[in-house]
Amino acid sequence: MMGKPGCGKTYVCSALLAWMYNKVADMYYFREADFFSRIRKSMEQQGDWHQEILYQCDHDFLIFDDIGSAGQGQTGWRQEVFLEIVNKRYESQNPTVFSTNYTRQEIREKLGERTYSRLFDKENTVIDMFGYPDLRMAFE
């Protein structure tokens, strides 16, 4: 899902979690900032982030919310880690939901061509919510 802040992406993610409850054996939800915090902690403790990614992404259903919101910028390392996540989920063919404020072009520029290609594979469903208003501001 792609869209401006406040259009309902995280709300949809929460609703999906509630709907999927008891439908899959194992599901997990990450915000990008929380995920990268775990990866950094694993690097400090174990010196290896690959195993932590495999562990964190090994769920029947995964939601990865707010891609690009961590405010750290998309460094080469962050691109590599994110490609690892996307690739793992792509190869496992387990249902995965990604949400972001990035446009298609920003995803291509900030996350790289390989990640873009996997996210926008013709078999995937892409929901563009950029035309939706900021629902948090609807009653101002």
- pLDDT 10s digits, 6-31: 999 999 999 999 999 989 999 999 99
2 close to 104: Cβ distance less than 8 angstroms: yes
Q: What is the pLDDT of residue 137?
A: 81
Instruction: Check pLDDT > 60 for residue 73.
Output: no
98 close to 10: Cβ distance less than 8 angstroms: no
Gap between the Cα atoms of 1 and 14, Å rounded: 13
For range 110-122, the mean pLDDT:
93
**Domains of the chain, first to last:** 9-129 (3.40.50.300)
**Could you identify the residue written with the tokens 């690739």?**
87
Q: What is the pLDDT of residue 8?
A: 92
Gap between the Cα atoms of 137 and 102, Å rounded: 20
